[in-house]
């Protein structure tokens, strides 16, 4: 039986999970593929005693893996931008297929990496990088290949969803973040999780694979969950909504929306039920309609599941001595459309507004009049006498869908009123129509 040789770079959370699943399920994988996935070399900065490498060659220099002539598939699981980029480009130069879980690398350096890989005709795959163990890249790139994809929206950061879920149950942000780190869910720098950078990396990749546009991470709008308060979580619930951190990409005639931010979603929608480290991605195609992909977005073996599926695809190519591959971003390069990313002011959304107003007669009428002057219709309004504190009372408003430009102008005017002396809190809302 043929061996396909795999070299693993990085033996942390995902590397460790990959090693364990590859070892534990070796014969099952052989039964599915007809060849033997052999771990030919492992490299990581610090050796880990809990993994019994037996006679597998080990080094602390990851470049030993890409320079090992026996290695067919290089698996990059070190994370980060720079060294990972050098490593992957070196592997490609050496004619090796590459599997990575590194969405930061693909979102930022993917255009360059795919161009280099195309010249060598090697596979570079990244399923584990987007929504962890959920095979969503396979679904969008291959399963939905017949469709024009119109929009994609998803919970695509496990750490953030874990934090929002636990906050809803009354727990503190900082305590839950520490727990997510201990469980191996968070990025090396957890601000990537809580400030939406990680979700923007993943959304950038999803939008490219769905719409056939180049990767444009630098143009994505990114807002995290660090400003979300228990008060807003509770009041969204009263209005029939749940706050989720979403990545949203929408194709419009003028360009694409590419945005990551906390979002009110109807509590009755399936996506509102997605809790903890789970992720879910909604993809709308013109032929199939709305589809949803759901499962663990982070964690050692859950992520390893996607890494190994990619290794198997690359290994099939090695075993068959074939040069056939699915286009990196689902479209042939000549068919990619360089659609502009629309400015946030052009985005269309509904909004949740929390206005801290002085308890004076006529304030509500002034607020309603400013919104109306800007063409903003109110879906619901809530003010509770019991919340009067220090002479101020919160007014909660849910608007109909408008352009972000209209809301920005209205908020400027609201904040200029003498009856309002705090910043207006604004959270976008989606109904997925």
Ligand X SMILES: N[C@@H](CC=O)C(=O)O
Ligand Y SMILES: NC(=O)C1=CN([C@@H]2O[C@H](COP(=O)(O)OP(=O)(O)OC[C@H]3O[C@@H](n4cnc5c(N)ncnc54)[C@H](O)[C@@H]3O)[C@@H](O)[C@H]2O)C=CC1
Stretch that binds ligand X, among 52-60, 180-188, 247-255, 363-371 (CB under 6 A): 180-188
Q: Which of 102, 157, 305, 406 binds ligand X (CB under 6 A)?
A: 157
Distance of CA 226 to the CA centre of its chain: 17
Check residue 262 for interaction with ligand X (CB under 6 A).
no
Assigned token pair, 431: 């109904």
Check residue 206 for interaction with Na ion (CB under 5 A).
no
Check residue 125 for interaction with ligand X (CB under 6 A).
no
Least Å distance, CB 75 to Na ion, is 15
The span from the CA of 302 to the CA of 295, in Å, is 9
13 is in an annotated binding site: yes
Q: For the window 132-161, what string marks contact with ligand Y as x by the rule CB under 6 A? A: x-----------------------------
Would strands 425-429 and 348-358 be described as parallel, antiparallel, or unpaired?
Answer: antiparallel
At what angle are helices 26-33 and 300-319 packed, to 10 degrees?
40
Q: Cα 147–150–151 angle (5° rounding)?
A: 120
State which of positions 86-145 bind Na ion (CB under 5 A): 127, 130-131, 134, 136
Least Å distance, CB 420 to Na ion, is 44
Other beta carbons within 10 Å of 161? 28
CA nearest to 42, candidates 29, 26, 56:
56
Q: Which of 6, 8, 15, 180 binds ligand Y (CB under 6 A)?
A: 15
The span from the CA of 403 to the CA of 418, in Å, is 26
Residues 6+ apart with CB under 8 A from 131: 154, 156, 202, 279, 281, 293, 295, 297
80 is in an annotated binding site: no
Check residue 186 for interaction with ligand X (CB under 6 A).
yes
Q: Which residues are catalytic?
A: 202
158 is in an annotated binding site: no
Least Å distance, CB 165 to ligand X, is 12
The span from the CA of 33 to the CA of 342, in Å, is 44
The span from the CA of 307 to the CA of 304, in Å, is 5
The span from the CA of 423 to the CA of 404, in Å, is 17
Least Å distance, CB 279 to ligand X, is 7
Task: Specify the DSSP class assigned to residue 218.
Answer: G
**Partner from ligand X, ligand Y, Na ion, none binding residue 193, C-beta < 5-8 Å depending on class:** ligand X
Q: Which of 159, 216, 349, 406 binds ligand X (CB under 6 A)?
A: 159
Residues near ligand Y (CB under 6 A) are 10-15, 44-46, 62, 77-79, 83, 101-102, 128-129, 132, 184-185, 187-188, 298-299, 303
Residues near ligand X (CB under 6 A) are 132, 157-159, 185-187, 193, 198, 297-298
Residues near Na ion (CB under 5 A) are 127, 130-131, 134, 136, 306
> Which residues belong to the annotated binding site?
9-16, 103, 187
């Amino acid at each position: 039986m043929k061996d396909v040789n795999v070299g693993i770079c990085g033996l942390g959370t995902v590397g460790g999970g990959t090693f364990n699943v590859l070892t534990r399920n070796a014969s099952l994988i052989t039964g599915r593929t007809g060849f033997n996935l052999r771990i030919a070399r492992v490299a990581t900065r610090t050796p880990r005693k809990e993994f019994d490498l037996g006679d597998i060659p080990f080094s602390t220099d990851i470049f030993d893996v890409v320079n090992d002539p026996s290695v067919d598939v290089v698996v990059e699981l070190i994370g980060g931008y720079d060294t990972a980029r050098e490593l992957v480009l070196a592997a490609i130069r050496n004619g090796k297929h590459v599997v990575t879980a590194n969405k930061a690398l693909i979102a930022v350096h993917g255009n360059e990496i795919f161009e280099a890989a195309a010249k060598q005709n090697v596979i570079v795959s990244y399923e584990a990088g987007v929504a962890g163990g959920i095979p969503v890249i396979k679904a969008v790139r291959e399963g939905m290949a017949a469709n024009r994809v119109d929009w994609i929206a998803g919970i695509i950061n496990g750490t953030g969803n874990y934090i929002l879920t636990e906050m809803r149950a009354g727990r503190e942000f900082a305590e839950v973040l520490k727990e997510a780190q201990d469980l191996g869910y968070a990025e090396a720098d957890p601000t990537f999780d809580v400030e939406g950078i990680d979700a923007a990396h993943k959304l950038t990749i999803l939008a490219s694979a769905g719409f056939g546009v180049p990767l444009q991470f630098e143009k994505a709008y990114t807002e995290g969950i660090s400003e979300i308060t228990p008060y807003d979580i509770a009041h969204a619930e009263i209005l029939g909504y749940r706050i989720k951190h979403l990545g949203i990409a929408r194709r419009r005639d003028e360009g694409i929306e590419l945005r990551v931010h906390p979002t009110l979603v109807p509590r009755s929608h399936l996506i509102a039920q997605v809790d903890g480290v789970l992720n879910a991605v909604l993809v709308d195609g013109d032929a199939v309609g709305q589809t949803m992909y759901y499962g663990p977005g982070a964690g050692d073996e859950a992520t390893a599941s996607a890494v190994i599926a990619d290794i198997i695809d690359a290994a099939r190519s090695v075993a068959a001595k074939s040069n056939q591959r699915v286009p990196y971003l689902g479209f042939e390069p000549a068919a990619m459309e360089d659609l502009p990313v629309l400015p946030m002011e052009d985005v269309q959304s509904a909004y949740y507004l929390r206005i801290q107003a002085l308890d004076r007669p006529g304030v509500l009428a002034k607020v309603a009049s400013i919104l109306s002057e800007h063409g903003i219709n109110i879906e619901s309004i809530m003010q509770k006498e019991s919340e009067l504190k220090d002479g101020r009372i919160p007014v909660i408003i849910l608007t109909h869908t408008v352009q972000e430009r209209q809301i920005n102008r209205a908020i400027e005017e609201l904040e200029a009123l003498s009856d309002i002396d705090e910043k207006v809190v604004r959270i976008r809302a989606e109904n997925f129509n």
